[in-house]
């Protein structure tokens, strides 16, 4: 027999969901059969799996250790890559993601920011491999592989849930810096519709709605211009795949270094002059709204991530 005491990160979910994490190789039919036969109990009573768990609830598994071991697998991909932490508290991490790092795995063999976060928490004794059975820290927003800047991660369930809700409700303000082709003179809000082609992983922008397209809105303010290129601050109103890159390209101001939506001759010139291999798009700033509860310490705060060295070099050379 083994006993599980529900932790803070395991509370507020259904019993069957937690059991599926602990016994992650067991068929659902097995879990429900064990519940019916009272081989799995909740607080000493029969349960059907639909019960919502509270912190300190006790789950007893009247199963042989061999059975539990057979149906349990804790997979941990520890990595050596370092992450640049901008801010950290009990519930969240703010990370300045470098160019080339995946936000999340695309393939099983990939190393992503998620693995780096878990490894960091394991090494700093903020997390144990046993705790990974039922809860894994994760990111709450994603950036393209070759976009740098601020990514928010939840270290606890409440942190993950709170931050995810902010992004879903669009109550957290997200600002990007980028350098675009052409002279931009005025602040503007642009709107349209974005359609993603799943086969090519490329999006297109239209002025009117087409089937499968989502409405988008982007605001930008010119910060510096030399007449040929402009440094923009962009506020992301909606957050769709490749939105900033495609939206700016659609109005004649592609981001330099962008090989998917950019201008080929400009990109070749920038590669030759600065050895630039990626788009100059950086998630520069996050501004939090007024918050209550566990993350209230973040209310009204702004966090800034320094732009990459090559970005700074190009800004200082061109403007």
Q: What is the pLDDT of residues 273-306, one digit of tens each?
A: 999 999 999 999 999 999 998 899 999 999 999 9
Of 14, 38, 70, which one is at a domain's C-terminal end?
70
Residue 73: the pLDDT is 79
Based on the fold, state whether residues 197 and 298 are members of the same structural domain. yes
Regions in the chain scoring below 50 on pLDDT: none
Say yes or no: 184 and 269 in one domain. yes
Range of the domain at 93: 84-169
Residue pointed to by tokens 């997979």? 75
**The predicted structure's pLDDT at residue 230:** 98
pLDDT score at 264: 96
Domain assignment present for 247: yes
41 with 178, same domain: the answer is no
Report pLDDT for 38. 95
Instruction: Point out the catalytic residue in the list 48, 65, 77, 144.
Output: 144
The predicted pLDDT at position 298 comes to 96
50 and 115, same domain (yes or no): no
Asked whether residue 77 is assigned to any structural domain, the reply reads: no
Cα(17)–Cα(33) distance, integer angstroms: 15
The number of folded domains in the chain is 3
pLDDT of residue 240: 92
194 shares a domain with 236: yes
What are the tens digits of pLDDT across the range 151-164? 999 999 999 999 99
144 annotated active-site: yes
Which of the listed residues 29, 48, 70 is the one where a domain comes to its end? 70
> Cα–Cα distance between 136 and 115 in angstroms, integer?
10
Token pair 């969901």 is at which residue?
17
Task: Indicate if 185 and 115 belong to the same structural domain.
Answer: no
Same domain, residue pair 204 and 280: yes
Q: Would residue 13 count as lying in a domain?
A: yes
Indicate whether 177 and 312 sit together in one domain.
Answer: yes
Task: For residue 150, list its beta bridge partners.
Answer: 96
CA–CA distances in Å: residue 310 to residues 81, 104, 207, 214, 252: 20, 24, 34, 34, 24
Number of helical H runs and strand E runs in the chain? 8, 15
Tokens 């630039």 locate to: 276
For 24, other C-beta atoms within 10 Å of its C-beta total 14
**Residues 219, 314: one domain?**
yes
The reply to whether 291 and 204 lie within a common domain is yes
Strand 188-197, strand 229-236: pairing? unpaired
d(CA 81, CA 103): 13
Of 137, 169, 201, the last residue of a domain is 169
User: Do residues 274 and 268 lie in contact, with contact meaning Cβ atoms separated by under 8 Å?
Assistant: no
- Provide the pLDDT for residue 128: 87
* Same domain? 12 vs 135: no
CATH number, domain at 165? 3.30.2350.10
CATH number of the structural domain spanning residue 15? 3.10.290.10
Does residue 79 fall inside a structural domain? no
């Amino acid at each position: 027999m083994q006993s599980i005491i529900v932790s803070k990160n395991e509370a507020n979910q259904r019993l069957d969901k937690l059991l599926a994490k602990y016994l992650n190789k067991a068929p659902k039919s097995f879990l429900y059969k064990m519940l019916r036969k009272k081989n799995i109990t909740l607080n000493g009573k029969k349960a059907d799996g639909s019960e919502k768990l509270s912190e300190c609830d006790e789950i007893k598994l009247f199963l042989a250790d061999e059975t539990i071991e057979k149906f349990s697998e804790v997979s941990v991909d520890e990595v050596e890559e370092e992450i640049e932490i901008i801010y950290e508290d009990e519930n969240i991490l703010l990370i300045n993601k470098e160019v080339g790092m995946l936000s999340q795995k695309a393939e099983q063999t990939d190393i992503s920011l998620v693995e780096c976060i878990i490894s960091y928490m394991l090494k700093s004794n903020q997390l144990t491999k046993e705790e990974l059975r039922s809860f894994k820290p994760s990111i709450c927003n994603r950036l393209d592989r070759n976009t740098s800047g601020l990514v928010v991660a939840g270290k606890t369930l409440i942190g993950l849930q709170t931050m995810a809700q902010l992004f879903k409700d669009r109550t957290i303000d997200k600002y990007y810096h980028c350098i675009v082709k052409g002279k931009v003179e005025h602040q503007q809000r642009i709107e349209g519709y974005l359609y993603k082609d799943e086969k090519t992983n490329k999006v297109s922008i239209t002025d009117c709605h087409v089937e499968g397209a989502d409405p988008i809105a982007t605001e930008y303010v010119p910060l510096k211009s030399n007449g040929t290129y402009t440094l923009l601050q962009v506020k992301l109103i909606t957050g769709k795949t490749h939105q900033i890159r495609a939206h700016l390209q659609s109005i004649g101001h592609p981001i330099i270094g962008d090989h998917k939506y950019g201008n080929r001759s400009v990109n070749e010139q920038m590669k030759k002059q600065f050895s630039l291999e990626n788009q100059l798009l950086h998630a520069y700033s996050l501004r939090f709204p007024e918050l209550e509860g566990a993350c209230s310490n973040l209310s009204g705060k702004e966090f800034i991530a320094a732009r990459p060295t090559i970005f700074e070099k190009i800004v200082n050379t061109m403007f």
